[in-house]
């Protein structure tokens, strides 16, 4: 079958090793690299036959990987730890680069190989670090934010490195060529950023209005790869153009949708790329050079730990942070594979040096997650031996973000909910997959995301981890279940309200520990019934009691007593009515204090607010005195309301 058979072998082996990595709570990238080693030409057994063609195909994986990294770059991460990110990271890159160059000289690498080694070890792995932080629940910790801020700047720094490496072989003859290449790179990037920043949003807006997922995916793929091909024609890296395209899209209203849609395609081609990297690993070579490789691994990890710890301490971070940052960023990153492979293609070093760098990179990636796990016990031991005052800096959660509501699913129902929440002043994020509705919501000033709410990355963008409530308005039960599954993984304590279309779906939803299930058509029929009974002059208490019983019978399963109890409590508040009363200019209420009227004791009603001169006074105390033109907010039964009106309504 040729290359088609090779791709099938790659996918099947990637599935097996990826599954094993997942069971071991390791990043899938490690499984893919090991998969490449297993099916590579140096291990025997089932082997990929067209390695050169697979290597060419893997270039698309590199481009899509960097394209997605560009889209996902978070300027917010830099802002929160801006000093160490913007100043400390360049210092770290230079120091680590020089350190790597010295290591290369120690191992008798040529100058170009030593320079590339310095560049390679200066970068850390964004994917490995994020995955490890998520597994340990440290993504929102101070240590996690420092690491993410540093990684963002490192990813940006990879751009000039990709431009410089192809020109290293000319350094001995002329520095002018390097300067010219850098200027050319700056010019090309400027064209992409300026023109792309103006043209791409217009282009994507028109495509989005068609509401075709296939066309949108095709468009963003064409943009990433097409602009990458343009930079290739300009004599620069193919991957560089894709990365800059992602950066241009970053922060736009299309970035979340683009990221969620490109991920499956990126992951498939990424599998091919990392598998192709593994295919270059020669176990026999590793065994014959094991002392050199293990020494290099030790020097890289130890050196990076020390460098990151010192820089973290210089920028004022104390306690566990320097240790966590040092252990967390001690590995060699996925960008480094791109740089090393670029150095090999440019013949800056031979296959032996490349194999040493490759083996070192793979081993640091394997070791890194375990080092981060060891951070806490090592620090705890250190504290017991050297006790001192600890400053609590572990968690950092935006207080406003804790009050957020996420509305997932979009549509007319979500629009109506958003209107009410917006009017009441609640903070919320609306996820809308229909671009026309998304534009309408945006014009209304709503905080909204364009994307598919069933995708994990979209829910993460919505800040669901800090939300209190998730409202799912999707009418399709399978999609709703997918959203629930992802949401509970992100935020296990989340309160969830879902929509269902059929009574048979209730049991499935309650098994998922949902807070409340709502059937729109059933609720509409109850509201129509309520309005009809009001016109027939049935008391509010009787109507509400009847509707509560109907709801209880409809929504409560025989085995779900807890839900029945909660539903009864939720509906009890509806037996009370809130209404407004205007104090006329001659009313006997003027000058009276709330306490002396004893409204709660005599009439069973309570004053919960006063609207006076464009100001709302909430929960006034018993010494509060009424004035002319006050609007009083009262809550109580219908009987209490009628008695109050009889006493105070016409007192002129």
User: 583 and 490 in one domain?
Assistant: no
Range with the poorest average pLDDT among 81-90, 395-404, 533-542, 635-644 = 395-404
pLDDT digits (tens, 9 = 90+) for 460-495: 778 787 888 898 888 777 788 888 888 888 888 888
* Average predicted confidence (pLDDT) for the chain: 79
Q: Which residue has the tokens 């705890």?
A: 380
Q: DSSP class of residue 84?
A: I
Q: Which residue has the tokens 């209005």?
A: 209
Whether the pLDDT of residue 66 is over 80: the answer is no
User: 615 and 529 in one domain?
Assistant: no
DSSP alpha helix (H) spans, 209-281: 213-233, 238-249, 255-279
DSSP 452-484: -TTSHHHHHHTTGGG-SEEEE--S-HHHHHHHH
User: 420 and 330 in one domain?
Assistant: no
> Would you say residue 396 lies in a domain?
no
Q: What is the pLDDT of residue 392?
A: 35
Range with the poorest average pLDDT among 103-112, 282-291, 566-575, 637-646 = 566-575
User: 326 and 271 in one domain?
Assistant: yes
User: 540 and 637 in one domain?
Assistant: no
By residue range, what is the domain housing residue 593?
576-648
> Of 522, 552, 574, which residue constitutes the final position of a domain?
574
User: 148 and 285 in one domain?
Assistant: yes
> Would you say residue 392 lies in a domain?
no
> Would you say residue 393 lies in a domain?
no
CATH code for the domain in which residue 162 is found: 1.20.1530.20
d(CA 558, CA 520) in angstroms, rounded, equals 22
342 vs 114, higher pLDDT: 114
Q: What is the pLDDT of residue 295?
A: 95
Over range 593-607, report the average pLDDT.
Answer: 82
Non-local CB neighbours of 262 within 8 Å, separated by 6+ positions: 64, 67, 68, 71, 217, 220, 221, 224
User: Strand, coil or helix: what is 211?
Assistant: coil
Over range 437-442, report the average pLDDT.
Answer: 82
User: 356 and 409 in one domain?
Assistant: no
Q: What is the pLDDT of residue 604?
A: 78
CATH code for the domain in which residue 507 is found: 3.40.50.720
d(CA 622, CA 607) in angstroms, rounded, equals 10
> Would you say residue 414 lies in a domain?
yes
Q: What is the pLDDT of residue 132?
A: 75
User: 411 and 375 in one domain?
Assistant: no
User: 587 and 490 in one domain?
Assistant: no
Q: DSSP class of residue 86?
A: I
> Would you say residue 389 lies in a domain?
no
Q: Is the pTM of this model over 0.75?
A: no
69 pLDDT band, cuts 50/70/90, is confident
Q: What is the pLDDT of residue 443?
A: 83
CATH code for the domain in which residue 623 is found: 3.30.70.1450
> Would you say residue 9 lies in a domain?
yes
> Of 541, 574, 607, which residue constitutes the final position of a domain?
574
User: 478 and 434 in one domain?
Assistant: yes
Share of the chain above pLDDT 90, in %: 11
> Of 553, 574, 595, which residue constitutes the final position of a domain?
574
Q: What is the pLDDT of residue 235?
A: 72
Provide φ and ψ at 253, rounded to 5°: -70, -10
Whether the pLDDT of residue 642 is over 70: the answer is yes
User: 596 and 546 in one domain?
Assistant: no
Query: Cβ distance 486 to 510 under 8 Å?
Result: no
d(CA 282, CA 378) in angstroms, rounded, equals 35
Q: What is the pLDDT of residue 286?
A: 87
SS3 of 354-387: the string is: HHHHHHHHHHHHHHHHHHHHHHHHHHHHHHHHCC
- ∠ Cα 212 215 221 (to 5°): 140
566 pLDDT band, cuts 50/70/90, is very low
SS3 of 276-292: the string is: HHHHCCCHHHHHHCHHH
User: 81 and 64 in one domain?
Assistant: yes
pLDDT digits (tens, 9 = 90+) for 130-149: 767 766 667 667 788 888 88
Query: Cβ distance 152 to 74 under 8 Å?
Result: yes
642: closest CA among 601, 591, 604?
Answer: 604
Whether the pLDDT of residue 640 is over 80: the answer is no
> Would you say residue 629 lies in a domain?
yes
Our count of domains for the chain comes to 3
> Would you say residue 391 lies in a domain?
no
């Amino acid at each position: 079958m040729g290359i088609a058979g090779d791709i099938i072998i790659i996918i099947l082996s990637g599935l097996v090793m990826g599954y094993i990595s997942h069971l071991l709570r390791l990043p899938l990238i490690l499984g893919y690299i090991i998969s490449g080693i297993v099916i590579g030409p140096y291990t025997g057994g089932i082997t990929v036959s067209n390695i050169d063609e697979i290597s060419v195909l893997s270039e698309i994986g590199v481009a899509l990987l960097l394209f997605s990294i560009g889209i996902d770059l978070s300027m917010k991460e830099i802002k929160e730890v801006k000093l160490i990110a913007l100043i400390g990271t360049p210092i770290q890159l230079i120091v680590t680069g020089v350190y790597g160059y010295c290591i290369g000289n120690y191992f008798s690498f040529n100058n170009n190989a030593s320079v590339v080694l310095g560049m390679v070890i200066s970068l850390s792995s964004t994917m490995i670090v994020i995955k490890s932080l998520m597994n340990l629940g440290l993504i929102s910790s101070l240590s996690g934010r420092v690491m993410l801020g540093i990684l963002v700047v490192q990813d940006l720094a990879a751009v000039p490195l990709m431009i410089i490496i192809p020109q290293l072989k000319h350094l001995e003859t002329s520095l002018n060529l390097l300067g010219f290449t850098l200027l050319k790179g700056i010019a090309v990037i400027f064209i992409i950023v300026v023109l792309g920043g103006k043209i791409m949003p217009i282009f994507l807006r028109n495509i989005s209005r068609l509401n075709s997922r296939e066309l949108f995916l095709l468009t963003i793929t064409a943009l990433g790869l097409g602009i990458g091909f343009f930079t290739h024609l300009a004599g620069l890296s193919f991957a560089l153009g894709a990365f800059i395209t992602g950066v241009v899209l970053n922060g736009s209203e299309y970035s979340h949708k683009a990221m969620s849609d490109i991920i499956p395609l990126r992951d498939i081609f990424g599998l091919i790329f990392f598998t192709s990297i593994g295919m270059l690993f020669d176990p026999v070579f590793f065994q014959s050079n094991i002392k050199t490789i293990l020494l290099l691994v030790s020097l890289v990890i130890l050196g990076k730990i020390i460098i990151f710890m010192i820089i973290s301490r210089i920028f004022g971070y104390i306690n566990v942070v320097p240790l966590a940052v040092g252990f967390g960023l001690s590995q060699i990153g996925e960008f480094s594979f791109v740089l090393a492979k670029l150095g090999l293609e440019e013949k800056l070093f031979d296959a032996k040096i490349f194999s040493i760098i490759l083996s070192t990179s793979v081993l640091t990636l394997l070791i890194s997650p375990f080092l981060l796990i060891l951070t806490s016990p090592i620090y705890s031991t250190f504290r017991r031996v050297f006790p001192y005052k600890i400053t609590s800096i572990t968690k950092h959660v935006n207080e406003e973000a804790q009050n957020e509501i996420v509305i997932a699913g979009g549509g007319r129902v979500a629009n109506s909910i958003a209107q009410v929440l917006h009017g009441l002043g609640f903070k919320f994020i609306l996820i809308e997959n229909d671009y026309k509705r998304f534009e309408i919501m945006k014009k209304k000033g709503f905080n909204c995301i364009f994307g598919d709410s069933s995708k994990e990355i979209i829910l993460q963008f919505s800040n669901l981890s800090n939300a209190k409530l998730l409202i799912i308005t999707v009418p399709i039960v399978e999609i709703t279940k997918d959203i629930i599954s992802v949401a509970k993984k992100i935020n296990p304590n989340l309160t969830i309200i879902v929509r269902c279309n059929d009574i048979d779906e209730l049991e499935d939803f309650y098994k998922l520990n949902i807070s409340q299930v709502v059937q729109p058509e059933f609720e509409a029929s109850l509201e129509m019934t309520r309005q009809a009974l009001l016109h027939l002059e049935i008391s509010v208490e009787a109507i509400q009691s009847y509707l509560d019983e109907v709801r209880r019978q409809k929504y409560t399963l025989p085995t779900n007593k807890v839900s029945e109890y909660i539903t009864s409590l939720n509906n009890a508040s509806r037996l009370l009515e809130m209404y407004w009363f205007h104090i006329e200019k001659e009313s006997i209420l003027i000058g009276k204090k709330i306490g002396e009227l004893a409204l709660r004791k005599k009439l069973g009603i309570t004053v919960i607010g006063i609207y006076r001169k464009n100001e709302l006074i909430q929960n006034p105390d018993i010494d509060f005195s009424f004035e002319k033109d006050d609007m009083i907010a009262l809550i109580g039964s219908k009987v209490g309301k009628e008695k109050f009106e009889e006493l105070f309504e016409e007192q002129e």
